[in-house]
Amino acid sequence: MLSERYETLAPLSSRRLLVLGGIGLILVGMIFGDVFAIFILHQNASRVGASLAAAAHAALAGDSTTVTNNFQAVGGFLENRGTKVDTHAHVIAFGYLALMLALLAPWAVLSAKTKRRLAWLFLCGAGLLPSCVFLIHYVGLARSPLKSIGWASIFADVGGLFVIIALAGYLYGLGKRLLSGERSAVQDHPLAVSSFAGQLLLAGGVLLMMLGFLHGSYYAAVDLYRHEALDYSILSQISMGAAEKNAAAVESGLAAYSQLQGEKAVNIAAHAHIIEFGLLSILLAFFQPYVDLREIWKRRWAFVLLLGSLVLPVCVLLELKFGLIAGGLADVGGLFVIVALLAMWIGVLRDTGRLDAGDTA
Amino acid sequence: MIGARRLLLAGGIVLALWGMGYGLWYAVFAEHQALEEIGASLSTAFSSAAQREAAQSGVALLRYKESKYIYDRQVDVHSHWIGLAMVLIVLGLSFDKLSFSEKTKLWLAAGFLAGACLFPLGVLFQVYDHGPLPRVLAISGSALEIASLCLIALGFARNQSSISRS
C-alpha cells in the first residue's frame, strides 16, 4: 500500500503538485473572497448605487453632462468590482481544475516528467492570471504598447495561455488512452479507498449540488423573469419621472432598484456557492486517503466543511430579511470551510512528509 | 473504464471544451459590443430624460432591455455549460460507487449528459426565439439534470447502506 501511495504521491510528482497546489489555490481564493466581501464589495455596491442616484438626480435637474459623468463613474466602479470578482472566481476555478487533473492524471498516457512539467506550467498560469487580473484596475494603460490593453491584461493572457497549454497536454494524454481502446481499469489509490470521511463528503457534496440545482430551478421559474421585467419597469419609472420632473417617482424608483439588485445578487451568489461547495466536497472526498490525520479528526473536518458549505449560501439568501446578522453568519460559514480546508491541506502535507521519510506508521 | 464512467468523463471534457470555446468566441466577438450597448443605451435614456425627451428615453431603455436580456443569457450559457461539465467529470470519477446495475448507470449517465447539453442550449435559443419552445427545452434539460442527480444520490445512499450492513 505504501509503495503504491509513494508512487502516486512521490516528491514533486504531478499529483502531489496538483493536490497541494489545488487545495492551496482554493484556500487563497476563498480568503480573498472573504476579504473582498467584507472590505470592498458592499462599499463598491454603495458607490455604484450613489452614482446611479446622482445620475437620476442630474436628469431630474436637466443636467445631461452630469448624467454622463456619473455613468462614467459607474463604469469605473464596475470595473473595479469586476476584476476582484474575476480574481476570486478564477483562483478557485483553477484550484478545482488542479484537483481534477490530479484525479485524471493516471489515465493520461504521458511520461512522469511530462506530467510534472505540465503541472508546474498549470500552477504558474493559475497564479499569474488571477494576480494580473487583480492588478488591471490599478495598472491601467500605464506604459502599455497597445491602445486599449494594459500590461496587466497582457500578463493575465500569458497566464491563461500557460493554463491552456497544460490542459491541452493532459487532454492529449487522455485522448491517447481513449482512442487506444484501452479498457483495463487504472489502479488508483484515492478512487479505490472509501473512508467514512470520504463517504460523508461524497454524499454531502451530491446533496449540496442537488439543493443548488433545486434552488436554481426555483429561481428561474419564480423570480428570474419577474426580476427582468422589474429591472426594465423601475428604470423606466426613474427616467420617465426625471423627464416629467417627478421627484417622488425618481426617489421611489431608486429605492426599488437598489432592493431589486440586492435580491438578484443574493440569489445568484447562493446558487453559485452551494453548487461549488458541493463540487469541492466531492473532489475532497477522493483525497481523504492522503489526509494524514486521525480518523475522528478527518470526520470532524469533513462535517465542519459541509456545515460551512450549507450555512454560507443559506445565510446569504437570508441577508435581505435579516441584514448584517445573516451576513455575519454567512462569513462564519465561509470561515468554517476555510479552516476545514486548511486542516485537510495540512493533513496532505503531513502525509507527503511521512511518505518522504519512508514512515509506514 | 466502465461505459457510464467513460461517457461522463469524455462527455464532460468535450462539453467543457465546447463551453470554453463558446466563451472565447463570445469574449472576442460579442461581449465588449454587448457591454458597450448596455452602458450606452442606459446613459442615453437618462441623458434624454434630462433633456425632457421622454420618447427618445423610452426607445433607449427598450434597447437596454433587449441587449441586457441577450447578454445575461449568453453569460449564463457559457458558465452553465462549463459548470455542468465539471459536475459530469467529478460524478464520472465516483460513478463506480453507485449501487446500480451497469445498464442503469449507463442510462443515468446518458440522461445527465443530455440534460447538461440541452438546458444551456434552451437558454441560448431564448436569444433568438422569445416563444415558449426554448423555455420548454431549458426546463426539460434542467428537469433531466435534477431527476438524474436525485437518482445518483439514491445510488450513493444505497451503496452507503450496503457498506454499513456488510
The Cα of B10 is separated from the nearest Cα of chain A by a number of Å equal to: 8
Go through chain B and tell me how many residues it has: 166
The string of pLDDT tens digits covering residues B95-133 is 888 888 999 999 999 999 999 999 999 999 999 998 899
pLDDT for the residue B23? 84
| Selected residue of B91, B93, B130, B142 to mutate for chain A interface (largest A Cβ count, 10 A) | B93
Cβ of residue A219 closer than 8 Å to a chain B Cβ:
no
CA B45, CA B65: separation in Å to the nearest integer? 11
C-alpha cell at B138: 431549458
The minimal CB distance from A75 to the residues B39, B152, B157 is found for B39
Q: Which of A67, A81, A224, A284 should we substitute to test contact with B (largest number of B Cβ atoms within 10 Å)?
A: A67
Give the nearest partner residue to A191 out of B10, B93, B163, using CB atoms.
Answer: B93
Shortest CA distance to A222 belongs to which of A276, A279, A271? A271
Residues whose CB is less than 8 angstroms from the CB of residue A317 and which lie 6 or more positions away in sequence, other chains included: A266, A267, A270
Residue by residue, DSSP assigns chain B as: --HHHHHHHHHHHHHHHHHHHHHHHHIIIIIHHHHHHHHHHHHHHHHHHHTT-HHHHHHHHHHHHHHHHHHHHHHHHHHHHHHHHHHHHHHHHTGGGS-S-HHHHHHHHHHHHHHHHHHHHHHHHHHH--SHHHHHHHHHHHHHHHHHHHHHHHHHHHHHHHHHH-
Half-sphere CA count of A328, side-chain side, radius 13 A: 4
SS3 A317: helix
Q: Does A79 touch chain B if contact means CB atoms closer than 8 Å? A: no
What's the rounded Cα separation, in Å, for the pair A284 and A286? 5
Q: Which residue has the cell 450555512?
A: A311
- Range in A6-10, A46-50, A112-116 with the lowest mean pLDDT: A6-10
Q: Does A186 touch chain B (CB under 8 A)?
A: yes
* Contact with chain A for residue B150, Cβ under 8 A: yes
Cβ of A323: how many Cβ atoms within 10 Å?
A: 10
* Cα B80 to chain centroid, rounded: 3
Contact: B153, A210; criterion CB under 8 Å: yes
- The overall average pLDDT reported for chain A is 88
- Distance from the Cα of A209 to chain B's closest Cα (Å) equals 8
Distances (CA, A) of A13 to A7, A111, A120, A347: 9, 11, 10, 18
CB < 8 Å to B96, chain A? 191
Whole-number pLDDT of residue A71: 86
Predicted local confidence at residue B162, as pLDDT? 67
Taking an 8 Å cut-off on Cβ atoms, the answer to whether B50 and A71 are in contact is no
pLDDT above 90 for B164 = no
Residues from chain A contacting residue B86 (CB–CB below 8 Å): 96, 100, 279
CA distances from A241 to A16, A25, A70, A157 (A): 61, 48, 18, 44
The phi, psi pair for A52, rounded to 5°, reads: -65, -40
pLDDT at A3: 55
Cβ distance of A235 and B42 shorter than 8 Å? yes
Q: Find chain A residues with C-beta within 8 A of B153's C-beta.
A: 203, 206-207, 210
pLDDT tens string B46-103: 999 999 998 999 999 999 999 999 999 999 999 999 999 999 999 998 888 888 899 9
CB pairs under 8 A between A and B: 131
Contact A266, A319 (CB under 8 A): yes
* Local structure of residue A37 (DSSP, 8 states): I
Q: Where are the domains of chain B?
A: 3-156
Query: Could you tell me the three cell numbers for A153?
Result: 491584461
DSSP letter, residue A182: -
Return the higher-pLDDT residue of A24 and B33: A24
Closest CA to A68 of B56, B46, B65: B46
pLDDT over 70, % of chain A: 93
What is the per-residue pLDDT across A273-287, written as a single tens digit (0 to 9) for each? 999 999 999 999 999
pLDDT of residue A193 exceeding 60, the answer is no
**Nearest of A36, A265, A17, A277 to residue A133 by alpha carbon:** A36
**Contact residues, A window 96-135, toward B, CB-based 8 Å cutoff:** 96, 100, 103-104, 107
The rounded Cα A199 to chain-centroid distance in angstroms is: 24
Instruction: Name residue, grid cell 459541509.
Output: A306
Cβ within 8 Å, pair A206-B153: yes
The alpha carbons of chain B give a radius of gyration, in whole angstroms, of 22
B53 touches chain A (CB under 8 A): yes
Distance CA A83, CA A19 (A): 26
The region that residue A182 occupies, defined by phi over 0 for left and psi between -120 and 50 for alpha, beta otherwise, is beta
Distance CA A304, CA A227 (A): 35
- pLDDT of A361 higher than 50: no
**What integer pLDDT is reported at residue A104 of this predicted model?**
87
> How many whole angstroms separate alpha carbon B108 and alpha carbon B98?
11
Write phi, then psi, for B2 (nearest 5 degrees): -70, 155
The model's pLDDT over A306-346, given as tens digits with 9 standing for 90+, comes to: 999 999 999 999 998 898 899 889 989 999 999 999 999 99
